[in-house]
Amino acid sequence: MENLDAMARTRWAVETFGEELILTTSFGVQSAVMLHLVTQIAPRMPVVFIDTGYLFPDTYRFAEELQRRLELNLHVYQPQMSAARQEALYGKRWQQGAEGLKDYNFINTVEPMDRAVRELGASAWLAGLRRNQASAREHLPVLQKQNKVSKIHPIIDWDNRTVHRYLTEHGLPYHPLWEQGYVSLGDWHSTSPLTVGMSEEDTRFGGQKRECGLHEISGQPDFQI
């Protein structure tokens, strides 16, 4: 898999897993790359979008733009508890240290994704992770097993120049907040623009962690992804 290019990796995944393959997107800074690349091969592949209820307004508008343009087979999953109810009962968990952040991520991203995997009958998952995005991703393979699901990272070895070239060649947009210095996007309350002296990892969760929970292997035996 390391010796294949992104298109070949994606074709292999489509041929191997068929209807049990899904693609996830955050509609982040460079999400148009994976959405375009994958839908050129499998136009009707289910695309899972986890809407935490705390995304930037620009993200929702960007999602609408790309859904119309690429005719995505979009499946939106949300937490079972609304943002307002969560804050009323538990406060702002993302400000409550490591344990609070873990609980917040589980309710808002991990559980909805777990539900998506089960309801869509997925056994494999295409994700747009890249090794140069964070130290935690430096050694990720193209193909890995995350509990019961196989994860495929077609553009894992792409750098920012390659991403930019792909977007330019296909006339695809960056997320609008890219122009304001955002290099990684998640919830509005836990995402900062990149400034002098910061790494990309520092822009998420105040530098406490890079991942929102979706790309970390859970120790819970009933956790599907």
In this structure, what CATH number is given to the domain that contains residue 145? 3.40.50.620
From 6, 155, 212, 225, active-site residue: 212
Q: What's the total number of domains in the chain?
A: 1
The amino acid at residue 39 is T
Alpha helices in the chain (DSSP H): 6-17, 32-41, 57-70, 83-90, 97-105, 111-120, 160-169
**Residue 225 pLDDT > 70, yes or no?**
no
Structural contact between residues 127 and 215, judged by C-beta atoms closer than 8 angstroms? yes
CA dist 174 → 97, 116, 169, 186, 198 (Å): 32, 26, 13, 15, 21
Asked if residue 1 belongs to a domain, the reply is no
Residue 68 lies in a domain: yes
pLDDT tens-digit readout, 66-114: 999 999 999 999 999 999 999 999 999 999 988 998 899 999 999 999 9
Q: Which residue has the higher pLDDT, 155 or 204?
A: 155
DSSP one-letter string for 102-144: HHHHIIIIIHHHHHHHHHHT-SEEE----GGG-GGGTT--SEE
Q: What is the pLDDT of residue 214?
A: 64
- Which helix H or strand E contains 152, and what residues bound it? strand 149-152
Q: Answer yes or no: is 223 within a domain.
A: no
Average pLDDT of the segment spanning 121-128:
96
The model's pTM: 0.88
Q: Is residue 224 part of a domain?
A: no
Residue 64 and residue 74: Cα distance in Å, rounded? Answer: 10
How far, CA to CA in Å, does 209 sit from each of 84, 101, 115?
24, 10, 24
Residue 119 structural domain: 6-207
The answer as to whether 216 is a domain residue is: no
Q: How far is CA 214 from CA 9, 12, 90, 141, 211, in A?
A: 21, 23, 22, 16, 7
- Find the Cα–Cα–Cα–Cα dihedral 115, 117, 119, 121, rounded to 10°: -160
What confidence score (pLDDT) does residue 220 get?
45
Q: Is residue 76 annotated as a catalytic residue, yes or no?
A: no
In a domain, 85, yes or no: yes
pLDDT for 170-198, tens place per residue? 999 999 998 998 888 889 998 888 887 77
Q: Does any domain span residue 222?
A: no
